Amino acid sequence: RTKKIKEEDTHDVEIKEGIEACVGNTPLFRIKSLSEETGCDILGKAEFLNGAGGSPKDRVALNMIKTAEEEGLLTPHSGDTIYEGTVGSTGISLATICRARGYLAHICMPSDQATEKSDLLLKLGAVVDRVPPAPIIDPMHFVNRARNLAADHTADPTRPGRGYFADQFENQANWQAHFEGTGPEIYQQCGGKLDAFVAGAGTGGTIAGVARFLKSKLPNLRVVLADPQGSGLFNRIKNGVMFDTLEKEGTRRRSQVDTIVEGIGINRVTANFEAGRELIDDAIKVNDEEALAMARWLAEKDGMFVGSSSAVNCKWSLGVAGYSHLTKEGVAAARLARLSGPGQRIVTILCDSGTRHLSKFWTHAGDIGGKTDSKLNDIIGD
C-alpha cells in the first residue's frame, strides 16, 4: 500500500535548488580490497558523484563562477561566455554549470585527450576547440588560446556580453573551493581521525585546499602527492625544482606530460599548487603500468570503474599504507614504510568515472573479463 503523506510530515523535506545544489557533500567510503590487503583503512572520497559534471571540478567551476559574479565580472543571461583551457573535467563542469546559471561555455583542450570528453562538451552546448598539444609559451597552447579568445570577445562591440577567462590554474577560487568544501567534509566524515591524505595534482587546487584545511586541524597529518610519469611536481616537492627524467636537459618546450594518465601532472608552477606546496610532506612517481594495473584491480575486486587519476591516487595510497615495497620503482619505499603501517587511516580522491577514459586509458587497460583471482603482488609487481 502507498502511505498517504500528511502535509505536516513534509515540512522538513529538503528540496535542492538547481543542479548546482548537487555539488559537494560526496560520500567517503572504505575501499574494501585495499583496506583488507594492507590492514589500514583506505578511504575514497567519491568526487565522481558530484551532481553537475561528475568530478571534483564541479566544486571549482561553481566557486569560480560565483566569485566572478560577486566581483561583477559575470552577469547571468547577458550573453557572457566563460572561456577555459582544460584537459576535460573542468570544461565539463563549467559547461554544465554555465547552462544552469545562464552562461555559454567555450572550451579549449589538447587534441590528444580522450574524445569522449569533447563529445560530452558538445552535447552540453559548449563550443569546443581541440588544439594541437603545444608548450605553455606557445600562443596556441590550450590555456593561452582560451585567454586570448576571452579578451577578443570582450573587445568586440558586435558580440553580446563579455568574455570571461576562468583561469583554473591561477584562480584562487580553485583551492578555496576545496578549503571550504572538500577538506571540511573529509574532516567531518572521518570524525577528525585520519593519518594521511593522498592526491595527485594538475592545477594543484585539490591538494592545496584540502591540505590547508586539514593541516590546520591535524598538524601531524601526512599529505602526499601522487605524480604520474612525465610530470615535474615530484621534483618540485623533493628538490624544489620542476624537472622530470623523461625530459632531456635543455628541452623545456615539451608539449605535454608524457603519460596516458589525464587530469593530473604538469611541468610548470601554478598559483594553486604553490598555495599548498609547503604543506605537502612527500611525493612519489606512479608510472603508467602501475596505474593501469591498479585500475584493473579496482574493477575486479571492488566493482569500481575509475578514471586514470583515481588509479594513480589509489596506487600511492598503498605506498603510504606501508606497501610501497610493492612499487616497481621503489621510490621512497623505506621512508614511507617507516612512516606508516597497519591501523592507519588514509584518505584519497576518486576523481571521475572510467567512462571518460574509454578511448585512451581503458583501451590500454583492457577488459578484466571473468578474472577473480588476482593477487596484489601480481597487480603491483614484486
**Is residue 264 a contact partner of residue 227, using CB atoms and an 8 Å limit?**
yes
Query: pLDDT of 27-53, one tens digit each?
Result: 999 999 888 888 888 899 999 999 999
Alpha-carbon distance of 62 to 60, in angstroms, equals 6
The predicted pLDDT at position 81 comes to: 98
What lies within 8 Å, CB to CB, of 23 at 6+ separation is: 50, 51, 52, 58, 59, 62, 97
The Cβ of residue 309 has, within 10 Å, a number of other Cβ atoms equal to 30
Give, as one character, the DSSP assignment of residue 159.
S
Phi, psi of 151 (to 5 degrees): -65, -40
Q: Length of the chain in residues, anyone?
A: 382
178 residue type, one letter: H
Does pLDDT of 318 surpass 50?
A: yes
Picking from 133-137, 230-234, 316-320, which range would have the lowest pLDDT averaged per residue?
316-320
If you average pLDDT over every residue of the chain, what do you get? 85
Alpha-carbon distance of 354 to 301, in angstroms, equals 15
- For residues 357-376, give the mean pLDDT: 84
**pTM for this model (two decimals):** 0.87
Does pLDDT of 248 surpass 60?
A: no
The predicted pLDDT at position 340 comes to: 60
Query: pLDDT of 325-336, one tens digit each?
Result: 433 322 222 233
* Helix (H) or strand (E) segment spanning residue 363: helix 361-365
DSSP 298-334: HHHHH---B-HHHHHHHHHHHIIIIIGGGSSS-TTHH
Residues forming the active site:
57
* Helix (H) or strand (E) segment spanning residue 107: strand 104-110
- For residues 359-368, give the mean pLDDT: 86
- For residues 205-220, give the mean pLDDT: 97
The Cβ of residue 370 has, within 10 Å, a number of other Cβ atoms equal to 7
The predicted pLDDT at position 192 comes to: 97
Alpha-carbon distance of 250 to 233, in angstroms, equals 18
Give 30-53 as a 3 state SS string. Answer: ECHHHHHHHCCEEEEEEHHHCCCC
The predicted pLDDT at position 50 comes to: 96
The predicted pLDDT at position 378 comes to: 63
